[in-house]
Structure 1
Amino acid sequence: MNPRIEHLVAVAAPLWAGEAEVVRTYWTSPKHTAQTDMLWLARQCFKEFWGSGVSKYDRGGVFLGVMKKLIETAPAIDITLDRTEVLDTLEGLKAEFSHYCAFADVYDEIRPAGTPKLNPHVLEAWPEEDALTALRYQHQDEHGAVGMRACKFTEGGYCTLFSEGMALAGKGGIEEKIAAACAMVYEDEFGHMLAGMTGITDAGLKDADWKLIETLVVAQLQKRIHMRNGQFGYPLAEARIQAIFRGDILPVAFDYAKAKLAA
C-alpha cells in the first residue's frame, strides 16, 4: 500500500470512529423511536437523491443533477467525452438511486397508517448537511483536482452508517429492516471509498498536494460528524464531538483484507 495513503487512513480513522459513535449512540438512546427513525431515514433519502459534492456532475443533486448533466453533454460523447466516463456515471447513478429506494422502502414500511408515502420532493436538508456540501464545493472551487480527490476519499465516511446499521441484524422489527437496507448499500459505498483512494494514489501528487489533501480530509470528516449528529437528532453533545476532534477515541481499524490492500 502507498505509505501516503496509509498515513491518510491513519489520520481519518479517529474521525471515522467518531461518525460511527454518533450512529451507535443513537441506536441506544432513550430518544430513539419510530418517529426519530422516520426523520433520519428521510434525511438519508435526501442525501441519496439530492445530496451532492463528490463528483463533477452532481451539482443540483446526485440524481437529477447528474441526469441533467448527462443529457447536456450527450452530443459530446466520443468527441470530447469518452464513452467509458458516461458508462461509469450511469452505473453510479443506478447505484445511488438504488440506495434511495432501499431507505425509502424502509420509511414507507414503518410509517404510521395515514402518513403520506415518502417522495423526493418533500425531502429537506438540515443545517449540518448544507454546511458539509458547502465545504465540499469550496474545496473543489479553491483547490481543483486535489479538492475533488479529498471529497472522493471522504465519501461515505468509511461506510460507518451502514456498518453500524448492519450491526442491528437479528434484533427484529424496524431494526431488522434497517440492517437489511444498510447491508445492501454497504458494498457499493465501500467500493466508492476504494475508488477514491486509488484515484489519489494514481494522481501523481506532489508533497504540497499530500499535505493539502490531509488538511481537506480532516476538515470534511469533522463536518461529516456534525452532519451525522444533526441527521440523528444530536445524540452526541458538542463537548464529546470536540473531544473526538482532539483524538479522544479509539480509531476505526481499517479492513485491509476486505480492501485487498497490503498494509
Structure 2
Amino acid sequence: MANRYILQLTQLASAYRAAEARVVGAFFAVPRQKKEHLRWLKAQGFKEYSAIKPILDALTQLYPSIDNGIDRHEYTELTDKLADETKHARLVMDLVQEISGKKITPRDLTWLPQDRKLAKVRAAYSKSYAGLLHGSEKVTSREIRRKDETLERAAITLTEGGGGALYQVCSRLKKRGMDAKIAGVFEEILRDEMEHKDSGARLLASLIEDDTSFRRAAQIVCEISGQRLRMRNEQFGFPLSEAEMKSLDKRARQSVTGL
C-alpha cells in the first residue's frame, strides 16, 4: 500500500514538473530581447543566492551538535547543499553579468512578489525549510531539530526546484547565440540537481503509512507546486494567461485520483 502512495505522489510531482516546463517553454517559444532574459535571470539568481546565508548560519549553529543530536550524514547533506547553491548563484550571476555587460552584485538580483508568496506557503508547513530555501525566515537550531514536521519537510523536498523543470528546458535550448550561453549554465546546474532528484520520494517512503498521511503530503505538494507555477509565470513575464494557468494546475491535480 505504501508503495502505491509513493507512486501517486511522484506522479503528482511529475505532473507539476511538466506544467512548470510548459510555463518556461512558452517564454522561449518566441524570440526574446536581452532585457527579457535579464529579468528572469536576475530573479533566478536571487533564488540561488538567497539560500546561501541561511544554510551557512544553520551549519554554524549545528556544528557543535554533530553526532550529539544532529546526525553527521544530515550535516554533510547540508554542506553539499551549501556548495551547490553557492555554485549555482555564481553561475547565474556570471551569466547576468556577461549578458548585461555590467558588473553586478547581489543587490542587483530581484525577489519577485510570487516568489515571496511561495516562501510564505512553504513556511506554513516548515519555517526552517522556508528559511533555508528563501532566506525568508530566521533559521534556528531549535526549528531545525523539530521532529513534528518530518512529513511536511519530505513533501516540500519532493517539490523543490520543480523537479528541475526550468533547468531541463533551458539545457535543451538551441546551442547558438544567447540561448547557447543560457543552455550551458543550466545544463551544469541540472547535472547537480539530478544527483538528489529522488530524495523527497525516498524520505516520504518511510513516512506515508495510510490514507491520512498520503492526503497530507499530497495537499502540500499541490499547494506548493501550484504556487510554484504562479512564481514561474511571473518570473518569465506572464507568458501564459490566468485561464491557462488554472487549467495547468487543475490537470496536474487530476493526475492523481481522489484529490
Q: Same fold (TM over 0.5)?
A: yes
Query: What's the CA shift for 1:39?
Result: 1.1
Q: Which residue of 2 aligns with 1:44?
A: 44
Runs of 4+ in 1 over 6 A off after TM superposition: none
Task: For residue 2 of structure 1, give the secondary structure of its aligned residue in structure 2.
Answer: helix
Cα deviations across residues 72-101 of structure 1 (Å, max 9, x unaligned)? Answer: 222222332233222221111101111111
Q: Give the distance between the partners of 2:180 and 2:114, measured in 1 at CA.
A: 28
Q: Which residue of 2 aligns with 1:209?
A: 213
Query: Take 1:7 and 1:85, find their aligned partners in 2: how far apart are those partners?
Result: 27
Flag structure 1 segments of 5+ consecutive residues without an equivalent.
51-61, 252-263
Quote the residue 1:58 is aligned against.
none
2:235 aligned with 1:231, yes or no?
Answer: yes
Structure 2 portions without partners, runs of 5+: 128-147
TM-score under structure 2 length normalisation: 0.83
Identity rate, percent: 27
- Which amino acid is the alignment partner of residue 117 of structure 2? A
**RMSD of the alignment, in Å?**
2.2
Aligned to 1:59: none
Describe how 1:73-222 pairs up with structure 2 within 5 A: 73-112=62-101, 115=102, 117-140=103-126, 144-170=149-175, 172-203=176-207, 205-222=209-226
Taking the aligned partners of 2:37 and 2:156, their CA distance within structure 1 comes to: 27
Cα shift at 1:219 = 1.0
CA contact 1:222–1:245 (8 Å) conserved in 2: yes
Alignment of 1:25-44 (within 5 A): 25-29=26-30, 32-44=32-44
* TM-score normalised per structure 1: 0.82
Shift of 1:156: 1.1
Q: Secondary structure of 1:246's match?
A: helix
Q: Equivalents in 2 of 1:38, 1:216: separation in Å?
A: 31
Q: What is the CA–CA distance in structure 1 between the aligned matches of 2:209 and 2:108, rounded to whole Å?
A: 42
- Aligned-partner Cα distance in 2 for 1:9–1:68: 31
Contact kept, 8 Å, 1:162 with 1:185, in 2: the verdict is yes
